[in-house]
Chain A
Amino acid sequence: MAEPFYRVGEMRGPFEVVSVDFQVLPNGRYLEVVKDSMGNGSTTFGRDDPREYYCVRERDGNLLVPYTVRHPSTEAGLKGQDPSWVFVGDSDCDYWRVLCDWWKPRSFTVVEHDVLASPEIFTAFKECPEPWCYFTYNNFLPEDAEAWHFGILGCTRFRTQIIKAVPGALTDMEWRYRDWHYVSTGLGKTLREHGFEPHVHGIVDHHRMMDVGGVTEAVRLAS
């Protein structure tokens, strides 16, 4: 069931949300009007789309590569590994659904489709005992990296320990975060609320498929 994305008192970027007006319209869409303390705002005419769990594909490994289009750079970065490429482009919530199946008490790594990993990264993940590790993006300024510290999934490893500690982190995720745009934010928020903080290792090449005009264009070209 649709719910407002923002709540009064939450932060919307650097500004606090001061008002939220939310209503589900008779035609099944919803209207959310948000304003922040700076006067910025957004009015969303969203859809009360189904965001229930169902199995997209069973977990079949320890290295998840969710994708909408396969990019040569990403493939090159995974040479010598045993990646599970899982297509998540049929629904905005398929990434979340897949993560629900992967969030089982066994360590796993996520490398998203627009990230160029390297053997050193996998070695670092393997050797580090921290429960939650990631490499930040090379296109981030330091303040961007700080702002997204709890919300990066592009090159991230979760150990069994953190999955066991918060077993419902994905399956109990709020409706508003199940869209792929926000799933990393929702997961990071939950893990943070349970006392975890991610361990940053370094910087990974977040190529974003810019050689073909970005991910959106790459998907368009592939289709």
Chain B
Amino acid sequence: MATEDQVTGGNAGSVFPGALDTLNRAYDPNIGPAVMAMQAFYGGYTGPSALTGVTAQTFPDELATSSLTATAGTVFASIMTLPAGFILNNVSLINAVTATSTPTHQWAGIASVATTSKVLAVTADTLTAVVAADAVQTFAFAAPYTVPTSGQYWIFFCIAGTTGPTFAAATTLGSHGRGNVPPFNSGPCATGQTTVLAVGSTFTTPTVAAAAPLIYLS
């Protein structure tokens, strides 16, 4: 029987397996209030009103106090932890002060985190589509992608053109310390890209840290 400080919802304490979960932790019924307390503390998992059905994001909105200058044609990737069965329809980012100049290719996708990472799914290429500054930009997958196993994944995007945009982002990790220790949670990958990466192809992962873009999945 749940005590007053435990989860008391319909699923609380009854259907969770005793095995280790994706965070390598066994279920603890007290985690419910703890998570709720964290949510109240951070408060920032709100997302822009323009987006509906956001199911994951890289970090709380309030921490997007900086910006990432997305060099045109460079793939940028961020690690996100996703559970098995997670359905990915869209990848969204927020353009900051700079819009893309003469866009030619724009796309996003998901890749595995492995010794040799592979591209798992990609969005359509929106080519020359105009996206202004201060805009929420959403890339849609042609078909929903279902995450096969719980774990870490690279969420990536690329904007090719004359000059890339800036995106709302967290501050860059320092060149010493965590920002200089792999894996680099967010950073630039392959450069000089244009067309959409092929599903199944090897995904070049970041070798340096950059400002982590605020990415929403829905």
Contacts and interface: CB of A to CB of B under 8 A. Distances in A.
Query: How many B residues touch the partner, as a band?
Result: 35 or more
B124 interface: yes
A144 B129 contact: no
Interface in A185-214: 185, 206, 208, 213-214
A40 B140 contact: yes
Interface stretch (B101-109, B113-121, B174-182): B101-109
A33 B123 CA distance: 20
A172 B49 CA distance: 35
Interface in A14-52: 14-15, 33, 36, 38-47
B162 A148 contact: no
Is the contact region of chain B dominated by helix, strand, or loop, or is it mixed?
A: loop
A140 B128 CA distance: 12
B69 A216 contact: yes
Given A45-B134, A147-B104, A181 B126 contact: no
Interface string B128-154: 111111111111101000000000000
Contacts of B164: 214
A7 B142 CA distance: 23
Q: Which of A36, A41, A139, A206 has the most CB of B within 10 A?
A: A41
Given A13-B128, A213-B71, A42 B104 contact: no
B82 to A, nearest CB: 20
A148 B104 contact: yes
Contacts of A141: 104, 194-195
A214 B104 contact: no
Contacts of B101: 181, 215
A153 B99 CA distance: 18
A25 to B, nearest CB: 12
Contacts of B72: 208, 214
B98 A208 contact: no
A12 B129 contact: yes
A216 B50 CA distance: 28
Contacts of B127: 13-14, 147
B130 A5 contact: yes
Contacts of B125: 13-14
Interface in B40-82: 48, 50-51, 69, 71-72
A114 B104 contact: no
A44 B135 contact: yes
A198 to B, nearest CB: 15
A217 interface: yes
A5 B135 CA distance: 12
Contact of A42 (B105, B132, B162): B132
Contacts of B163: 208, 214-216
Given A13-B128, A14-B127, A40 B71 contact: no
A144 B162 CA distance: 11
B90 interface: yes
A47 B50 CA distance: 17
Contacts of A144: 104-105, 194
A177 B135 CA distance: 17
Given A40-B138, A42-B132, 17 more contacts: A13-B126, A13-B129, A14-B125, A14-B126, A14-B127, A15-B126, A36-B126, A38-B140, A38-B142, A41-B137, A43-B50, A144-B105, A147-B127, A181-B99, A208-B163, A214-B163, A215-B101
Interface of A: 5-6, 12-15, 33, 36, 38-47, 114, 137, 139-141, 144, 147-148, 151, 181-182, 184-185, 206, 208, 213-217
10 contacts: A13-B127, A14-B126, A38-B140, A40-B140, A42-B131, A46-B133, A144-B104, A147-B128, A148-B128, A216-B98
Listed from nearest, the 8 A-B pairs whose CB atoms lie closest are: A39-B140, A43-B50, A13-B129, A13-B127, A44-B135, A13-B126, A144-B104, A43-B136
